[in-house]
Chains A and B, each alone.
Chain A
């Protein structure tokens, strides 16, 4: 095996491990919110994970600044909410979680994810 091949194997192994670590091993810290919270939609949702109390009405203000078509809609499937997010316009989504647990919300195609933790 030539030295270039060894380098390619080592670099690829590193690449695979890095990809796994970068995308799949990330740990998100939940941002606590109680009445309302602004969520910026750009290449994902920021903050991505929010923690909210059970049984209390909360307003999520989505502001999409990213023109990617994927992010046009936000879907909070567990709360039966699908909302169109016009570019650069705040869209208020109100919800009152009745059960505690972790609820994933996504873009219209299920590619981008955010999480709502109800405590």
Chain B
């Protein structure tokens, strides 16, 4: 049993005697073999037996003497892990070289056409045995170790097959070397097969070497994301170490990013990486957010704007206030989401999983059958044919390719999505997305910017324009609706003094009501007027004109009389048209859903080329509309902001949310577009299609390979064509098959999705 080394932070140390005390306490823990504490770095390094020592024991050993250990933090650096991986690869390389060199010598000394040119020593069976032993038991040690530990659990894997296969070849050869007469007696020419055993081991190890290198590429996306993190931050703190602005006596100091706290004021200069998430408080700049959103054009930032950590400041110097640090930053959330997606299981994988759990035992049984059939029915020398074909069956079977087919593609696919600002929650969502044939878009905030502006103010003679706007602004002040903001902003722009509202009430899908200056005021759409039995006939033609132009018209009723209308229009996003065209090109029907009336909705739909429009849908009805379309047999995607339309997103086959602010972990969404770019909807579908194609090809290859070649190795082609599979060729095929699956998944990285 190996020893574990762990390094963790210790808080509260101030002198050398603390060091001695903590070390002594740690060493007293049963199972700890060494403990060193460093005062300067405030870290303890402990070597211990992990079966005996738990984190809690280490932590309580430190706290017993009055300090605090932070045992669970992630200390293991990327470099350490890289170094370990490299050491493994070096080791593997050495084994491959030795096995292939010795294997080549053995081939020279025993292969039919080559043997005549070989020196006499190489033809000597005992010399061959000496060359084969290190390969079989040193280079091949890993196969045995894995086999033995798996057998203890009554399971078997690839290593079991390789270990049994090569041992059969090696064992027979050793027998021939030691007892050649016995073999001759049963009518077989004494001929060892050391070359077979050694070359197989060499080639399979070579395959593993390439596979390990390629597999590292599949998890590159996460490493890249982690690498985006800034290491240090320049904060403003007062002499007591508390966050403070310049005015409050704050001084600039560089601190590790892990020490930044919420409320810290941070200063960022041009060309620097932004350390954490926050809100800009002074200065302005443009920021390159492409590393997170995939959007290549820098975004201008002014006071009050959201600043996202790990993005790059381009032109100006600014200070911002940290609002999210550590695991709450957008980057940390993205990393978590991608990690979770990469750990999830695609439904298509379940069959592969089921098969691979029975696969190795079945191959073992087939190998036994192969031996028996060749021994009983095969041509002479029966033992030789039986043995070689059994070895070929054991070696050619490749369960790894089946196991790697789906997860490697999912890992590359989700990673690629993240690079383009498309965050996929799990493999299942990625899988379903390629089946989508209808995508419903929420209008406000999704197809449009969601920041409407007042375009028309039209009083009907009872009050003037300013009074109309003042009343509307007053009643809307308490509303959270996006249209309300536009009206309040317009009123404030006219420097109107807004009145107090009593008995304010929002009526979802209709509007608002309340008492302003002792008058009952209602403000909302036609539906609200109808509900209140207010006659709107005199305004109908005006309303019609405005709505035909895509404006949202709201009516104001004072004491049950229509006094005027205010029209508000929302701006369509630049990416909307292109994004919808891209989807239509993919053969996907686009649908718009909105609470707006039919005319406004049609006007916007027309501009965007959307033919199917669901207008006047109340927020609570969106979910039902999604289900209605699903009941037509459609596979439905729903695109929304993820907050107001959460039930609709959840009801859709794939819910797609436009990222809002720094929050990317939108619960109801299967896919989150952090770049808020509507072209990314099509990109997500394309990514899904390409990933699924890769998975299908991988599975087809992995299954087809085994289904076709195992019978060939058993000798299925022998009765007709006299064809048999040489075990060495079997090992080449096996090694290639899992590499080709991983390589095919890596090809996904090069595919274009936008």
Contacts and interface: CB of A to CB of B under 8 A. Distances in A.
Nearest to B219: A84
Nearest to B350: A77
Nearest to A74: B343
B364 A66 contact: no
A82 B339 contact: yes
Contact of B146 (A65, A68, A109): A68
Interface string A81-111: 1110011111010000000000010101111
A111 B146 contact: no
A2 to B, nearest CB: 9
Interface in A35-73: 40, 42-46, 48, 63, 65-70
Nearest to A22: B154
Given A20-B361, A44-B149, A86-B81, A68 B159 contact: yes
Contact of A68 (B142, B402, B427): B142
Contacts, number: 150
B86 to A, nearest CB: 14
A28 B155 CA distance: 12
A67 B88 CA distance: 10
B158 to A, nearest CB: 7
A66 B376 contact: no
B500 interface: no
Instruction: Report the interface size class on chain B.
Output: 35 or more
A75 B51 contact: no
A5 B374 CA distance: 10
B146 A66 contact: yes
Nearest to B376: A5
A20 B365 contact: yes
Given A12-B371, A43-B153, A77 B345 contact: yes
B403 interface: yes
Contacts of B54: 90
A86 B84 contact: yes
Interface in B290-341: 339-341
A43 B158 contact: no
Contacts of A46: 153
Contacts of B361: 19-20, 22-24
B81 to A, nearest CB: 7
Contacts of B3: 88
B368 interface: yes
Contact of B404 (A20, A43, A77, A109): A109
B41 to A, nearest CB: 20
Interface in B403-424: 403-404, 407
Contact of A80 (B72, B88, B341): B341
Instruction: Report the interface size class on chain A.
Output: 35 or more
A113 interface: yes
A81 B403 contact: no
Interface string A9-24: 1001101100110111
B153 A108 contact: no
Contacts of B369: 12, 16
Given A15-B368, A88-B3, A67 B153 contact: no
Contacts of A92: 55, 72
Nearest to A78: B345
A42 B345 contact: no
B76 interface: yes
A35 B372 CA distance: 51
Interface stretch (B265-273, B352-360, B562-570): B352-360
B344 A80 contact: yes
Nearest to B150: A43
B263 interface: no
B40 interface: no
B345 A75 contact: yes
B426 A80 contact: yes
A29 interface: no
Contact of A1 (B2, B208, B376, B402): B376
Contact of A111 (B364, B376, B400): B400
B734 to A, nearest CB: 14
Contact of B154 (A13, A16, A26, A88): A26
Interface of B: 1-4, 6, 50-51, 54-55, 72, 76, 81, 84, 88, 142, 145-146, 148-159, 208, 212, 339-345, 349, 352-353, 356-358, 360-361, 364-365, 368-369, 371-372, 375-376, 399-400, 402-404, 407, 426-427
23 contacts: A1-B376, A8-B372, A8-B375, A15-B368, A20-B365, A23-B360, A43-B146, A43-B152, A44-B150, A63-B50, A75-B345, A77-B345, A77-B349, A80-B341, A82-B343, A88-B2, A108-B403, A108-B407, A110-B349, A110-B407, A111-B158, A113-B155, A113-B357
Interface of A: 1, 5, 8-9, 12-13, 15-16, 19-20, 22-24, 26, 40, 42-46, 48, 63, 65-70, 75-83, 86-90, 92, 104, 106, 108-113
Given A109-B403, A110-B407, 13 more contacts: A8-B375, A15-B365, A19-B364, A20-B365, A23-B154, A43-B149, A43-B155, A67-B142, A80-B340, A88-B3, A89-B50, A90-B50, A110-B352
